Amino acid sequence: MSAETSPGEETFSSLLLEELKQRLLQAFRGERPGPPCPAARQLSRRDAEGKSGGRAAQEELRRAHLEGAMAWLRVELLEMKSQNQKLARTLLDISTEIQRLRNENDLSAAVESETLNMATISE
The verdict on pTM exceeding 0.85 is no
pLDDT tens-digit series, residues 16-52: 777 777 777 777 776 665 555 555 555 556 555 555 4
pLDDT tens-digit series, residues 45-95: 655 555 545 788 888 888 888 888 888 899 889 999 999 999 999 999 999
From the number of C-beta atoms within 10 Å of its C-beta (0-12, 13-18, 19+), residue 29 rates as: exposed
Give me the phi and psi of 5, to 5 degrees please. -90, 140
Amino acid in the structure at residue 103: N
